[in-house]
Structure 1
Amino acid sequence: MFRATRRHRVLVATLAAPLLLGSATQAAASPAEGRAHISTAYVLPGDRVYPEGIGADPYTGDMYVGSYEGGTVYKLTPGQRVAEQFLPPFVDGRTQALGIEVDRARRLWVIDRPTGVAVYDIASRRLLARFTIPDQKPRLVNDMAITSDGTAYITDSYRSVVYRITPEQLAKAHEQGGEAPLRPAFDLSGIVEPHAPDAITLNGIVAERTGRYLLTVDMTGADLYRIALPSGKVDKVALSGGDIMTGDGMELQNDTLWVAHPITDRYAISRWRIGSDGRTAQSTGRLTDSALQTPTTLLRKNGKLYVVRSQFDKGGPTGPGTPQLPFSIASVRGF
């Protein structure tokens, strides 16, 4: 619990400052807000859920959501409003579930802080492998993206590095008992702007559809970075019309990027048009609404955004108070 409290004390400080953004971004917000409709898509059983990550099975349409408290993973089935428990809390060394993804082989990837990343077979719910950081220095394994070749890339928000797990490494770990080290692939610590030692830097990460590059956001510095694959060459994306201050989870489809912003009292989603080479991003809208309830991440499916309402600031890790029950996943249409 010490690490959780420390992380989110820093997050509160990070989120408290940038409450007012540039006029260009605000100008883009009005028409988007007028068209968007926010409703509750799914509810999560439990009074201490504080959901954080979300991923979708590309074959069944089922979605999976992780709980910051205890690491429970919930299954969201289309047509069923109430989620069911898929993985119980406090198993396999998992005490908090952050980033979640489902790959094309129907494996569920869960960032099971503080240990690292756990990979499960969805059909059997069996743990296939666990990748952990071998040292005990401060780290915050946070978010994840899986490229078209099945390789997973994971951000560390304290170390400003991106870890990599290839399909071959996953197969080898499974064959050798399921345990393997989580090793950095790309080090951005000398590239992101200087921050306090315990500031949250790299957070959300997404992969371009064909696997040409990754995009990852510096939550504190408000910058977006492009990582070329497989070379690892890093470039700062040229932003126009605003910045990505407090950017958390992201979703990329074709040339559109959506970013969740868990800004205290100004919960928001921003939308960006990404250039053909991934080196530019133009702000095309911003949706700010208290109904988003501290959005940590999101995904887009069937023309709608599914937004994780973490409520971290309502009696959770970033603030006092009482959450609004039940915890839920929002559906956003028209943005």
Structure 2
Amino acid sequence: MFRAVRRPLIAIAALAAPLLLGSTAQAAEPSTHGRVHVSTTFTIPGDKVYPEGIARDPYTGDFYVGSYEGGTIYRARPGQRVAQEFLPPFIDGRTQALGLEVDRSRRLWVTDRLTGIAVYDIPSRRLLARFTIPDQAPRLVNDLAITPDGTAYITGSRRSVIYRITPEDLKRAHKQGGDVPLLPTYDLSKIVEPHDPSTITLNGIVAAPSGRYLLTVDMTGGDLYRVALPSGKVDKVDLHGGNVLTGDGMELHNNTLWVVHPITDAYAISRWHIGSNGHSARMTRRVIDLAFQTPTNLLYRHGKLYVVRSQFDKGGPTGPGTPQLPFSIATVRGL
């Protein structure tokens, strides 16, 4: 989820690999340049979907995509060209679906920007627990990551905080059978760059495979932060070759981090090499292509990126106009 930022985009520096620039605003179908290839993985029915988050079931290979409008959850099985509705909109207090994750127990975690987190059992589609913000102050519950021990970490983008839900918290919430308060665990509000109170800061978040730290992006300040676990010690990552301004969803595989940048017509994905146990990052490539159609999140599997084409700028929450139908998820090879 994003909003216009206060700082102008810097010029894109020459990188180790060439820059990709799409040729037309309607370039939704296969786009190639050098070793990069963009194509459609599957489409999503509906004229106001505006997909935002994506997750994958590691046991079945099924993809799950959430809708910004209404919070519908769609599922696409391997080989399917059109996703199908998995969970209907406007249920369980859910009006939007932003961040999505599937854990090792085949539970689907869904964030709603105003309410909190809903957790579903995938085989039965049954709601297991809800974690809700107890106050009415401005909030935006955004993206999430799950560490190897099953703990979920969620960004609060208006408050510059990170929420935490442990496996024990989930068990207690399930037993109680009702809403459980979602309270901040780590407060980064005094650490991120000064910003307007209405501005979005912390957005995408990923967990190191070791479970020793998190990385989260301040999309307004252009910084990346390392949060040590379990202490919560926060350090600014030393960035080389660029910044993560307008960064939204992220994906971390081994020592490679991908960041999507959906704002100010820079429909970009940047690739970073993570070093020094998460304390430094070097940008190795930045690709711009209108075929990304305002990317908000992505997954990496078997050498390919699966990118959410939100089209937020085409009649969605950040711009006028009409989206190009059908909405879809892209496959990006070579990045």
What TM-score do the two structures reach when normalised by structure 1? 0.94
**Deviation (angstroms), 1:265:** 2.0
Match of 1:330 in 2: 330
Cα distance in 2 for residues equivalent to 1:21 and 1:93: 42
Measured in 2, the distance between the counterparts of 1:103 and 1:209 equals 14
Q: Percent identity?
A: 73
Task: Provide the rounded CA distance (Å) in 2 between the counterparts of 1:221 and 1:44.
Answer: 33
Distance 1:321 1:62, change over 3 A: same
Aligned length: 324
Q: Deviations over 1:50-96 (max 9, x none)?
A: 00000111111111000000000000111111001000001111110
Q: Where in structure 2 are the equivalents of 1:22-171 lying within 5 Å?
A: 22-24=12-14, 28-30=17-19, 34-171=34-171
SS in 1 for 2:34: helix
Residue 266 of structure 1: CA displacement? 2.0
Q: Find the aligned partners of 2:235 and 2:106 in 1 and give their Cα distance.
A: 32
RMSD of the TM alignment (CA)? 1.5
Q: CA deviation at 1:115?
A: 1.1
Deviation for aligned residue 1:19: 4.0
Structure 1 counterpart of 2:128, one-letter code: L
Distance in 1 (alpha carbons) for counterparts of 2:18 and 2:222: 18
Contact 1:33–1:287 under 8 Å retained in 2:
no
Contact in 1 for aligned 2:298/2:305 (Cα 8 Å): yes
**How far off is 1:263 after superposition?**
2.3
**Cα offset, 1:303, TM superposition:** 1.3
Mapped to 1, the partners of 2:10 and 2:189 lie a distance apart of 27
CA distance in 1, matches of 2:209, 2:56: 16
Task: Answer yes or no: is the 8 Å Cα contact 1:24–1:242 preserved in 2.
Answer: no
Equivalent residue, structure 2, for 1:230: 230
**Does the aligned pair in 2 maintain the 1:33–1:286 contact within 8 Å?**
no
Q: For residues 240 and 17 of structure 2, what CA distance do their matches in structure 1 show?
A: 12
TM-score, normalization by structure 2: 0.94
Task: Map Cα deviations across residues 179-213 of structure 1 (whole Å, 9 max, x no partner).
Answer: 21101110000000100011110000000001000
Given that residues 260 and 270 in structure 1 are in contact (C-alpha distance below 8 angstroms), is that contact kept between their aligned partners in structure 2? yes
The 1-side partners of 2:113 and 2:217 are apart by: 20
Kept after mapping to 1: 8 A contact 2:273/2:283: yes
Q: Alpha-carbon deviation of 1:24?
A: 4.2
In structure 2, what is the Cα distance between the partners aligned to 1:215 and 1:233? 12
Per-residue deviation at 1:14?
1.4
Give 1:21's aligned residue: 11
Task: Tell me the distance in 2 between the aligned counterparts of 1:132 and 1:126.
Answer: 18
Please say if residues 113 and 139 of structure 2, whose CA atoms lie closer than 8 Å, have aligned partners that are also in contact. no
For the residue of structure 2 that corresponds to 1:318, the secondary structure is coil
Q: Using the TM superposition, give the Cα deviation of residue 324 of structure 1 relative to its aligned residue in structure 2, in angstroms.
A: 0.1
Please give the residue correspondences for 1:295-310 in structure 2 after superposition, counting only pairs within 5 Å: 295-310=295-310
Q: Tell me, what secondary structure is at the counterpart of 1:252?
A: strand
Does the 8 A contact of 2:112 with 2:142 survive in 1?
no
- Structure-2 separation of matches of 1:321 and 1:68: 17
**Residue 33 of structure 1: CA displacement?**
5.1
Q: Is the 8 A contact 1:145 1:206 kept in 2?
A: yes
SS at match of 1:265: coil
- Distance in 1 of aligned mates of 2:222 and 2:266: 16
String of CA shifts for 1:157-189, please: whole Å, max 9, x gaps: 110000000000000000011321101110000
Rounded to whole Å, the distance in 2 between the matches of 1:155 and 1:270 is 21
Q: How far 1:35 sits from its partner (Å)?
A: 1.5
Contact 1:215 1:226 in 2 (8 A): yes
Aligned to 2:277, the other structure's residue is in SS state: coil
Q: Distance in 1 between matches of 2:36 and 2:290?
A: 13
Return the offset for 1:112.
Answer: 2.1
Higher helix share: 1
Distance 2:33 2:225 in 1: 27
The structural deviation recorded for 1:114 is: 1.8
Which AA in structure 1 matches 2:55? G
Note the residue ranges of structure 1 that are not aligned, 5 or more in a row: 1-6
CA distance in 1, matches of 2:282, 2:304: 21
Where do 1:256-271 residues align within 5 Å?
Answer: 256-271=256-271
Deviation at 1:18, TM superposition (A): 3.1
Q: Could you tell me how far apart the structure 2 residues matched to 1:18 and 1:28 are?
A: 24
